[in-house]
Chains A and B, each alone.
Chain A
Amino acid sequence: MSIPLPQKIILYVLLIVTSLMVFLPTALAFIMSFMTNQDILAGNLPQSFTLDNYKYVFENFPMLQYLINSFVVSIVIMIGQLLLSSLAAYAFVFLEFKGRDIIFYIFIATMMIPFEASVIPNFQTIRDLGWLDTYQGLTFPFFAMAFGTFLLRQNFKMIPKELREASLIEGIGDFKFYLTVVLPVAKTSLITLGVYGFLTSWNMYLWPLLATTNDKVRTVQIGLKQMSSQEQLNQWGVLMAGSVIVVIPTLLLLFFGQKHLQKGLTDGAVK
């Protein structure tokens, strides 16, 4: 099924024009982050290439600390979600017990509660636990995840039941079976979910804004907000350098994990 040439040209023109439009804000940010302030303010095309903006960001803001905090928070949330979701998914697929279906419906019900609507008591809980400005406070509320449980449940279901029966005869317990058979077999889905969890945690905004009051555990997103409100508006290069630093890890993850993520999300969405 080949496409005739004139149609092909139209398609390519459309692809190029639209993708440039979508990518323009990001591309401008990258370019401006390497420009001198004079060039930006004068509206010139870049006359010279400079790393000063990046230097300025690291020297004048605790950017390194922000980055470390964001990495810790995102990785802890990612591991917590993988662990809790896979344990729950295992119970829903391989264990039979009274009340399982009811609990399953309760899990579904959690998808109806938006975190934004329950943010006030959550703030009070974290405050009363003394968890403001701690990694626990930033990560714990996000470990349990209905979407992740469903995604893995879908995947675990494809593992043949005979495998479990055979392992039962050999006297292998559920936890060992979960650890040595189920998790390795479901590796691809675990990676998909991990990428998704990392992406969303890295980009989280409202909760870190509420749960941090100083730079000790503040994440990079809130750091960026601080920068944007502290900096005078003529420091665009610096602001853009800060933004570029923030988006690079997630852009890389997205570029390399795009196919994975797309398949995983579509499976979760459509099935």
Chain B
Amino acid sequence: MQSSRSELQDVFMKQKRKTRRKNFIKGIMFLLPSIILFSLFLFYPMIKTLYLSFFLTDMAGTPTVFVGLDNYIQLYTSDIFRKSFISTFLFVLYIVPTSIIIALFLAVLANEKLKGVGLFRTMYSSTMGISVAAGSIFWMYLFNPSMGLLNEALGVIGIDSIGWLTDPDWALIAISLTTIWMNIGFTFLILLGGLQSIDQSLYENANIEGAGYFRKLFQITVPMLSPTLFFVLVVTIINAFQTFGQIDILTKGGPQYETNLIVYSIYREAFVNRQFGPASAQAVVLFVIILIMTVVQFKFAERKVHYQ
């Protein structure tokens, strides 16, 4: 009696273990394609980049000489790399607040219940459908020194022509203008979505209390929108650090390295100068910056859930 019962238990346990193993295999089967590709094209490259950053390499990128932290020290001491970091941070500073303020303004406008507002929404979001390459060419014309629209417009109000893409004082601003314009579509769409999900009864109550337009804007809209604003802030910062195409087409990092932003600098070091070691060190720095931004975002999102 006693033995048959434990036997039964044994069989039961075995069965349970078997199902568990079967479930595990099944689960992994569904996840395997993603896991393999993430490993091959994301995790392995990340480790390899870290590894390469401690070496000098040959032209093909095979590590040859171990140099320890030299590549990182060089990032700090070399004028070109330092300039690249300064330009990158300036660029982020120029475009992030401007993009968000403009997109927020447009989203508030386009959130009004007016006839035909759909057309305006489509026009605002249109820049999201325009690729970096095409957008850069649009702006290449606007920036053209002799016949571009911007200098023509300046001429009308009596201001001298600006060498937008060739003057070291203006090139980064020109790249920033282009990027802000490219950002508007996506940022606008996300913010509009955020605005539309705000509970309308809040506004109705405020109306009953006789609150004015700006009071409603700053006491209801902006606070209720803060999670979306925060998301947009982080995404815009992350994207800004990854800017590449507009620089490749418009300035190639020049003039005088003014627009040599971090990803372009990585590209140039690795694929033009064939200096894979220093380029990898820069890539690691970029990774750390993005990592911090993402962690901040997750931490914030977590807190938001707690408060709800």
A, B from the same assembly = yes
Is there an interface contact between A32 and B184, defined as CB atoms closer than 8 Å? no
| Chain A, Cβ-Cβ closest to B22 | A97
Number of residue pairs A-B, CB distance < 8 angstroms: 293
Q: Is B300 an interface residue (CB 8 A)?
A: no
Q: How far is the CB of A219 from chain B (nearest CB, A)?
A: 9
Is there an interface contact between B242 and A116, defined as CB atoms closer than 8 Å? yes
Is there an interface contact between A258 and B41, defined as CB atoms closer than 8 Å? no
Is there an interface contact between A103 and B248, defined as CB atoms closer than 8 Å? no
Q: How far is the CB of B59 from chain A (nearest CB, A)?
A: 12
Segment touching A, from B4-12, B75-83, B91-99, B130-138: B130-138
The answer to whether A87 and B113 touch (CB under 8 A), given A125-B40, A265-B193, is: no
Q: How large is the interface on B (under 10, 10 to 19, 20 to 34, 35 or more residues)?
A: 35 or more
Is there an interface contact between B129 and A247, defined as CB atoms closer than 8 Å? yes
Is there an interface contact between B27 and A120, defined as CB atoms closer than 8 Å? no
Q: How far is the CB of B238 from chain A (nearest CB, A)?
A: 7
Is there an interface contact between A221 and B207, defined as CB atoms closer than 8 Å? no
Write out the residue numbers on chain A whose beta carbons fall within 8 Å of the beta carbon of B56. none
Q: Is B181 an interface residue (CB 8 A)?
A: yes
Compute how far the CA of A59 lies from the CA of B128 in the bound complex, rounded to whole angstroms. Answer: 29
Interface of chain B residues 235 through 269 with chain A (CB within 8 A): 235, 238, 241-242, 244-245, 248-249, 263, 266-267
Extra A-B contacts (11), CB below 8 Å, given A91-B31, A144-B34? A3-B113, A28-B149, A29-B134, A29-B137, A116-B242, A124-B48, A144-B35, A174-B30, A243-B134, A270-B197, A270-B228
Write out the residue numbers on chain A whose beta carbons fall within 8 Å of the beta carbon of B119. 19
Q: Is B166 an interface residue (CB 8 A)?
A: no
Write out the residue numbers on chain A whose beta carbons fall within 8 Å of the beta carbon of B298. 108
| Chain A, Cβ-Cβ closest to B51 | A121
Q: How large is the interface on A (under 10, 10 to 19, 20 to 34, 35 or more residues)?
A: 35 or more
A interface residues (Cβ-Cβ under 8 A, vs B): 1, 3, 8, 11-12, 14-16, 18-19, 22-23, 25-26, 28-29, 32, 40-41, 43, 83-85, 87-88, 90-91, 95-100, 103, 106-108, 110-125, 140-141, 143-144, 149, 174, 178, 199, 202-203, 205-206, 209-210, 221-222, 224-225, 228, 233, 236, 239-240, 242-244, 246-247, 250-251, 253-255, 258, 261-263, 265-266, 269-270
| Chain B, Cβ-Cβ closest to A108 | B298
Is there an interface contact between B142 and A113, defined as CB atoms closer than 8 Å? no
Is there an interface contact between A144 and B184, defined as CB atoms closer than 8 Å? no
Compute how far the CA of A47 lies from the CA of B112 in the bound complex, rounded to whole angstroms. Answer: 39
Write out the residue numbers on chain A whose beta carbons fall within 8 Å of the beta carbon of B49. 117-118, 120-121
Q: How far is the CB of A177 from chain B (nearest CB, A)?
A: 12
Q: How far is the CB of B140 from chain A (nearest CB, A)?
A: 7
Is there an interface contact between A246 and B286, defined as CB atoms closer than 8 Å? no
Is there an interface contact between B126 and A23, defined as CB atoms closer than 8 Å? yes
Is there an interface contact between B41 and A125, defined as CB atoms closer than 8 Å? yes
Contact pattern, B 101-136, Cβ under 8 Å of A = 1, otherwise 0: 000011001101110010111111111111111111
